[in-house]
Amino acid sequence: MPLEPVVQLLSTFLDLPFRDGYVWSIIYVSLYVSVIAVTLSTLFSIPVAIVMGFTDFAGKQFVKSIINTGMGFPSVVVGLVVLFAVSNQGPLGPLELIFTKEAMIMSQFVLATPPITAISLAAITGVDENVRDAAHVLGGTRLDVALVVLKEARYGIATAILAGFGRAISEVGSVLIVGGNITSADGISKTRTLTTAIQLEARQGRYETAMVLGVVLVALVLLVNAVVVRLGDREVRP
Amino acid sequence: MSIHRRTLIATIGAGAVGSVAGCSQFGSGSNQADGDGSDGSDGGNGGQSDSEDAQQPGVAGETLTLTTTTSTYDTGLLDAIHPDFEEMYGVTVDAVAQGTGAALETARNGDSDIVMVHARGLEDEFMRNGYGINRRDLMFNDFVIVGPEDDPAGIQGMGSATEALTAIADAEAAFVSRGDNSGTHTKELNLWEAAGTEPGGDWYQEIGAGMGEALNNANQQGAYTLSDRGTFISQRSEIDLVILVQGPIEDGPEILANPYGVMAVNPGVHGNANYDLAMAYIGWITSPGAQEAIADYQMNGEQLFFPEAVSENPDFQQYVPQGWSSDSSDS
């Protein structure tokens, strides 16, 4: 009976043992943190990818391999590093960022930046040489050429942003450490995300509700992907 | 009516000054310079229009960061009792559930204002190092050794926890250890030591996880584990493990007692710790009202925690590291 687990899952979903607003508030915190982190990462990564894609400099391969290594950073390690930075004893201690959304944004920024940079860079360097030449021949300035290349590479860049978003919203190690997985006593999330909520449910052995929250997370990522792809398609129209 | 309006305007003015100053403590100073109407204790929370709110304590709007152990949080106790405190002072309590070791470490780094944990040895070390002050005994329950119903090591009903562990070790029956430096893990290690047995081998598994996960893990492989009674009760309906040896709540050995303590982070070490509010919290949670709320908190029809802060007898040992005495040279 392959349908049985699905039915079971659905019935738990309709009857979640959570208080009003709990699930919505953790969805809100998840999106708030990850969207801001990925936006900042994108603003940082794309210019870096453009500069690296259009210029040659000594040590470029080295920088590239550092970025590629960054894609494999364990999120727990990133969490620890950010914790040391924002802890009261750390260099950013006076800002009192520990256990806040801002600290979570910092760690997700660190996690999302390498994949966004690396994949964007691959997309930009992957644009056919002929396209650049044509743009040059037609009298384009450096900026024009860059814009043409960016337009050609937009799918790759969209993929890069989505990969970064996927990394950010699905990671649990660092937001748990720097965010603290806090809700207020009335069950409204302060720094609890979907992933840390799943971790909490699993810790208490409530695997079904953990699973349901997992489904919510996947649905959310799917939704964001659909929206981004849709936006990307719209831009194609002349 | 005109008096009301003056109060309103003064409060709004004070609130504006307070929020510009950006800090409630400074806000209350400028508040008084404003003169009449509000009593100057309103601070950054100003802007509320009725005069009753102008009487709110100066801590209103602040946040208390409490690091605690998973057993107080996962059982739902804190969420059940905190609204009372939050309402009383107009503050927010951010409860961060970690293991006892991690909770104390976070406080050591100055990242929390108050700790509520259950490993006296670690608490004492925390106090001796100067990080924690004003410790109070808060409540207790006990530890239980749980295991599969068929009980391969035959420990059911044993009066001694150490004998039970020795029996498990002799039988090489599977035993799940938290392995996470939590209060329960610390207790488990102390028990092994008291039993004079060095656990090891395939049957002894350190899983490095919280109590709920440890119970699930033990449940799935039919292993024994040590649990605090609260977490076990809150999870009992989902697992097949049964209590085999229990602590003092059911007349078991005293060694399985599980006392919780609460203490403030020393503002002399960490100047940013919210000491005022931490002390307000300690005052509140050790008050008869909150202690009663702890006693009334039930899950699956069973009481999880037994308050012990309100007592006729002066228990001086709760304020100092265990065994400390002013006569000894130890400080």
Per-residue model confidence as pLDDT tens digits over B101-114:
899 999 999 999 99
Q: Do B171 and B248 fall into the same domain?
A: yes
Of chain B, the percentage scoring pLDDT greater than 90 comes to: 53
In DSSP terms, B93 is beta-bridged to B64
Confidence of residue B16 (pLDDT cuts 50, 70, 90): very low
- pLDDT value at B41 more than 60: no
Q: Which domain holds residue B159?
A: 142-256
Looking at residue B130, its pLDDT comes to 94
Residues of B in contact with A190 (CB under 8 A): 94
pLDDT tens figures, B131-175: 999 999 999 999 999 999 999 999 998 889 999 999 999 999 999
Looking at residue A168, its pLDDT comes to 93
Show Cβ contacts of residue A63 under 8 Å, excluding neighbours closer than 6 positions. A52
Q: Do B215 and B300 fall into the same domain?
A: no
Is the Cβ of B212 closer than 8 Å to some Cβ of chain A? yes
Instruction: Tell me whether residues B94 and A96 touch, CB distance under 8 A.
Output: no
Q: Least CB-CB distance to A88: which of B219, B235, B270?
A: B270
The dihedrals phi and psi of B178, each to the nearest 5 degrees, come to -60, -45
Residue B249 lies in a domain: yes
| Full set of structural domains in chain A with CATH | 3-236 (1.10.3720.10)
Of chain B, the percentage scoring pLDDT greater than 70 comes to: 82
Distance between CA atoms of residues B145 and B157, nearest Å: 10
ipTM: 0.76
Taking CA atoms, what residue in A is nearest to B220?
A205
In DSSP terms, B140 is beta-bridged to B259, B306
- pLDDT value at B47 more than 50: no
Is the Cβ of A76 closer than 8 Å to some Cβ of chain B? no
Instruction: Tell me whether residues A202 and B235 touch, CB distance under 8 A.
Output: no
What number is the average pLDDT over the span B76-86?
93
CA distance, residue A37 to nearest chain B CA (Å): 23
Q: Do B86 and B178 fall into the same domain?
A: no
The dihedrals phi and psi of A89, each to the nearest 5 degrees, come to -85, -15
> Domain ends where: B231, B256, B281?
B256
Query: Mean pLDDT across chain B, nearest whole number?
Result: 83
Q: Least CB-CB distance to A205: which of B82, B97, B235?
A: B235
> Domain ends where: B256, B282, B306?
B256
Lowest mean pLDDT among B49-53, B85-89, B111-115, B120-124: B49-53
Looking at residue A15, its pLDDT comes to 60
Number of domains forming the structure of chain B: 2
Instruction: Tell me whether residues B111 and A99 touch, CB distance under 8 A.
Output: yes
Looking at residue B38, its pLDDT comes to 39
**Orientation angle between helical segments A154-170 and A101-125, nearest 10 degrees:** 150
What number is the average pLDDT over the span B263-289?
94
- pLDDT value at B223 more than 90: yes
Residues of B in contact with A184 (CB under 8 A): 86, 92-94
The dihedrals phi and psi of B322, each to the nearest 5 degrees, come to -60, 135
Residue B114 lies in a domain: yes
Residues of B in contact with A182 (CB under 8 A): 94-96
The pTM of the full predicted model, rounded to 2 decimals, is 0.79
Residues of B in contact with A96 (CB under 8 A): 272
CA distance, residue B314 to nearest chain A CA (Å): 32
Looking at residue B49, its pLDDT comes to 43
Residue B133 lies in a domain: yes
Q: Do B119 and B267 fall into the same domain?
A: yes
CATH number at residue B289: 3.40.190.10
Distance between CA atoms of residues A49 and A55, nearest Å: 10
H helix runs in A55-188, sequence order: 60-70, 75-86, 101-125, 129-137, 142-152, 154-170, 173-179
Q: Do B116 and B263 fall into the same domain?
A: yes
Instruction: Tell me whether residues A205 and B97 touch, CB distance under 8 A.
Output: no
> Domain ends where: B234, B256, B278?
B256
Residue B21 lies in a domain: no
- pLDDT value at A238 more than 80: no
At A151, list the tokens. Answer: 């337009």
What stretch of H or E contains B14?
helix B2-21
Contact between residue B211 and residue B140 where contact means Cβ atoms under 8 Å apart: no
Instruction: Tell me whether residues B213 and A186 touch, CB distance under 8 A.
Output: no
- pLDDT value at A9 more than 90: no
- pLDDT value at A152 more than 80: yes
Contact between residue A149 and residue A159 where contact means Cβ atoms under 8 Å apart: no
Residues of A in contact with B182 (CB under 8 A): none
Q: Do B164 and B233 fall into the same domain?
A: yes
Instruction: Tell me whether residues A182 and B234 touch, CB distance under 8 A.
Output: no
Show Cβ contacts of residue A15 under 8 Å, excluding neighbours closer than 6 positions. none
Contact between residue B68 and residue B95 where contact means Cβ atoms under 8 Å apart: yes
Rg of chain B over Cα atoms, rounded to whole angstroms, equals 24
Query: A154 to each of A114, A121, A150, A161, how far by Cα in Å?
Result: 18, 11, 6, 10
- The whole-angstrom distance between residue B185's C-alpha and the CA centroid of its chain comes to 16
The DSSP secondary-structure symbol of A167 reads H
Torsion sign (Cα): B262, B264, B270, B272: positive
CA distance, residue B215 to nearest chain A CA (Å): 8
What number is the average pLDDT over the span B309-314?
88
Q: Do B158 and B296 fall into the same domain?
A: no
Per the model's pLDDT, the better-predicted residue between B5 and A18 turns out to be A18
CA neighbor of B277 nearest in space, from B66, B71, B124: B66
Lowest mean pLDDT among A211-220, A225-234, B144-153, B292-301: A225-234
Per the model's pLDDT, the better-predicted residue between B125 and A208 turns out to be B125
CA neighbor of B179 nearest in space, from B202, B203, B204, B208: B208
Is the Cβ of B74 closer than 8 Å to some Cβ of chain A? yes
Residue B35 lies in a domain: no
Q: Do B126 and B271 fall into the same domain?
A: yes
Confidence of residue A146 (pLDDT cuts 50, 70, 90): confident
pLDDT tens figures, B162-208: 999 999 999 999 999 998 888 899 999 999 999 998 888 889 999 98
Q: Do B206 and B153 fall into the same domain?
A: yes
Q: Least CB-CB distance to A204: which of B74, B80, B92?
A: B74
Query: B178 to each of B189, B209, B217, B218, B231, how far by Cα in Å?
Result: 10, 6, 10, 11, 13
- pLDDT value at B297 more than 70: yes
Q: Do B96 and B167 fall into the same domain?
A: no
Distance between CA atoms of residues B93 and B82, nearest Å: 7
Q: Do B133 and B179 fall into the same domain?
A: no
Q: Do B228 and B286 fall into the same domain?
A: no
Is the Cβ of A60 closer than 8 Å to some Cβ of chain B? no
Residue B271 lies in a domain: yes
Looking at residue A16, its pLDDT comes to 65
Instruction: Tell me whether residues A182 and B215 touch, CB distance under 8 A.
Output: no
Instruction: Tell me whether residues B79 and A185 touch, CB distance under 8 A.
Output: yes
Residue B123 lies in a domain: yes
Per the model's pLDDT, the better-predicted residue between A40 and B237 turns out to be A40
Distance between CA atoms of residues B58 and B28, nearest Å: 8
Is the Cβ of A20 closer than 8 Å to some Cβ of chain B? no
Looking at residue A82, its pLDDT comes to 93
Residue B41 lies in a domain: no
Looking at residue B54, its pLDDT comes to 54
- pLDDT value at B55 more than 60: yes
Dihedral-angle region of residue B37 (phi above 0 means left; psi in -120 to 50 means alpha; beta otherwise): left
Give the number of beta-carbon pairs within 8 Å between A and B: 69
